[in-house]
Amino acid sequence: MAPDINWEFYRSFLAVLNEGSLSGAARALDIAQPTVGRHIAALEKSLSLALFTRSQTGLLPTEAAQSLRGFAESMQSTAASLERAAASQGSGVRGTVRVTASDIIGVEVLPPVISALRDQYPGLTVELVLTNRVQDLLRREADIAVRMVRPRQELLVARRIGRIKLGLHAHERYLDRHGTPGSIADLATHSLIGFDQMTAFVRNAGKAFPGWRRESFALRTDSDLAHLALIRSGAGIGVCQVAIARRDDAIVRVLPKHFSLSLETWITMHQDLRNSPRCRVTFDALVEGLQRHAGPA
């Protein structure tokens, strides 16, 4: 294996993995397609490995390429983290902080928190990554994460926010048309909005409420935002964060004494970022904003 392989080769390698072709990788990286091709050829020569095979649909990664993906992604995350840290050097709060959260928290809860933070620190740039996938803080995929599970890694600084309450909700237009259920059994006659694919949270919810299963749902989606939009449109009865529903008087909680769930919420960051001004002020702002959202313990 050749020593000191150019990092740009791995960057092009990861782009081809993600895009499936040299042309797609070139567009993603904003470089010439022949340059990407030379990078891949040079990397294969340096590693003495075949990384891609050609097919009618594009370039297919070999087993060797798939085994290298995680390392290339880690290099990309570390490089981006290095750039964020370098840009924040100097006096005051400045630079870029990368925050990851679920779709629903990122769209419905965090924007006013981030807006107020930027008003206070105009030199701060915030990258908001919305995903229900738990991004790896140890690999620096993000600086700060809002998580609905307790972090287990020892190298993370974690702050418990509390429990965000969930309940069944429907728009008053739907209830005017179909009536308000008086019991869990009554839900069988209603249009229910629920999940499509099984998750750990859905599995646990099903244990607490056996009737809340995929076969019962007239409308199925794994997008929390689509779920909320369907409730707001009057399409049926679905699960919504109580604090979000309270913002709209037309959204009515259904069967509050019979159906109640909660999400334990944490804010976490890598312990190496504790002394970073940009991360510290963002962490504190997120804690304060989410505590307001979650309400009393």
Q: Quick one: pLDDT band at residue 3, thresholds 50, 70, 90?
A: low
Confidence (pLDDT) at 82:
78
Give strand pairing partners of 195.
Answer: none
pLDDT in tens, 233-252: 999 999 999 999 999 999 99
Residue 297 has pLDDT above 70, yes or no: no
Residue of higher predicted confidence among 137 and 30: 30
> Could you tell me the domains of the chain?
7-75 (1.10.10.10), 83-162+264-294 (3.40.190.10), 163-263 (3.40.190.10)
| Average pLDDT rounded to a whole number, residues 113-127 | 94
Query: Alpha-carbon distance 139 to 161, whole Å?
Result: 24
Query: Alpha-carbon distance 99 to 88, whole Å?
Result: 15
Confidence (pLDDT) at 59:
86
Q: The tokens 């005051």 sit on which residue?
A: 92
Query: Lowest-pLDDT range, 63-67, 129-133, 200-204?
Result: 200-204
Confidence (pLDDT) at 134:
61
Q: Quick one: pLDDT band at residue 139, thresholds 50, 70, 90?
A: low
Query: Lowest-pLDDT range, 62-76, 85-99, 112-126?
Result: 85-99
Q: Please provide the average confidence, as pLDDT, over all residues in the chain.
A: 87
Q: Quick one: pLDDT band at residue 7, thresholds 50, 70, 90?
A: confident
